[in-house]
Chain A
Amino acid sequence: EDQVTQSPEALRLQEGESSSLNCSYTVSGLRGLFWYRQDPGKGPEFLFTLYSAGEEKEKERLKATLTKKESFLHITAPKPEDSATYLCAVQASGTYKYIFGTGTRLKVLA
């Protein structure tokens, strides 16, 4: 069964304290892995797409990486405005559906 697991469920960081969020997936062939940011009361906002193992994408303080079994979202020197829930989703081969993890709630303290 296709599955996506995110860890940790919640993370509190001091401003400037770098860390990583994990997304482990089990799918029968990966078409794409997607990272989203979700603010309270809002819909998910697209951050990155990764298609193959070894691929990396960067945007400001965020960097996403992909292996054959997991993806990491690295946050370097976070700021309070990076506080949000980060969602990971995969699309498996042979399907048009997206499978979402339950997210990591990130809180960055000033």
Chain B
Amino acid sequence: NAGVTQTPKFQVLKTGQSMTLQCAQDMNHNSMYWYRQDPGMGLRLIYYSASEGTTDKGEVPNGYNVSRLNKREFSLRLESAAPSQTSVYFCASTRTVFDNQPQHFGDGTRLSIL
């Protein structure tokens, strides 16, 4: 019973490098989200996908792109990493954005950019 799976768990990048964070859920959920969590800031929404084929910006989208590959998978890409993007990234899913349901989270990707 995996739930939401994120890969990799840890990553170190140099400034300017690119990488893609992967997220997959096996709960047949329609909606998926990407957050970053920084000390003292709480969880901040980067992008979300209400349903397969749609994506929308959240609170802090600059420097990121997303792809909703299919119903299960939602990836986050950093095209040119910057030290300010050092953070813990969480992927979450819900059955649908329309019915006030709680989110289910993965265990995060810890990303350091030097």
Where the two chains meet, the residues of A that have a C-beta atom closer than 8 Å to any C-beta of B are 4, 31-32, 34, 36, 41-46, 49, 51, 87, 89, 91, 96-98, 100-103
**Which 10 A-B residue pairings sit nearest by Cβ, starting from the closest?**
A43-B105, A96-B97, A32-B100, A100-B43, A102-B42, A46-B102, A100-B42, A31-B100, A43-B107, A44-B105
A residues less than 8 Å from B4 (CB atoms): 43
- By the criterion CB–CB under 8 Å, are A97 and B43 in contact? no
Neighbouring B residues of A101 by C-beta, 8 Å = 42
- Chain B interface residues (CB < 8 Å from chain A): 4, 31, 33, 40-45, 48, 50, 58-59, 90, 92, 97-98, 100-108
CA distance A41 to B88 in the complex (A): 9
Given contacts A32-B102, A34-B102, 11 further A-B contacts (CB under 8 A): A32-B101, A36-B102, A41-B108, A43-B92, A43-B108, A45-B105, A46-B103, A49-B102, A96-B97, A98-B45, A100-B44
- What is the bound-complex CA distance between A43 and B59, given in angstroms? 20
How many angstroms between the C-alpha atoms of A103 and B38 in the bound complex? 12
Subset of 9 A-B contacts with CB under 8 Å: A4-B42, A31-B100, A34-B102, A41-B107, A43-B106, A44-B103, A49-B102, A97-B48, A98-B33
Q: How far is the CA of A51 from the CA of B101 in the complex (A)?
A: 10
> Which residues of the other chain, B, contact A97 by a CB distance below 8 angstroms?
45, 48, 58-59
Question: Chain A's interface: helix, strand, loop or mixed, by majority?
Answer: strand
Known A-B contacts A42-B107, A96-B97, A97-B58; A102 and B40 likewise in contact (beta carbons under 8 Å): yes
Closest CB-CB distance, A35 to chain B, in whole Å? 9
The closest CB in chain B to the CB of A6 belongs to B42
- Bound Cα distance A98, B104 (Å): 12
Bound together, the chains give a CA A36 to CA B108 distance in angstroms of 15
Measured between alpha carbons, how far is A96 from B104 in the docked complex, in Å?
A: 15
How distant is the Cα of A102 from the Cα of B41 in the complex, in angstroms? Answer: 6
Asked whether, in the complex, the Cβ of A43 is within 8 Å of the Cβ of B90, the reply is yes
A46 to B101, CA, bound (A): 10
Nearest residue, chain B, Cβ from A32: B100
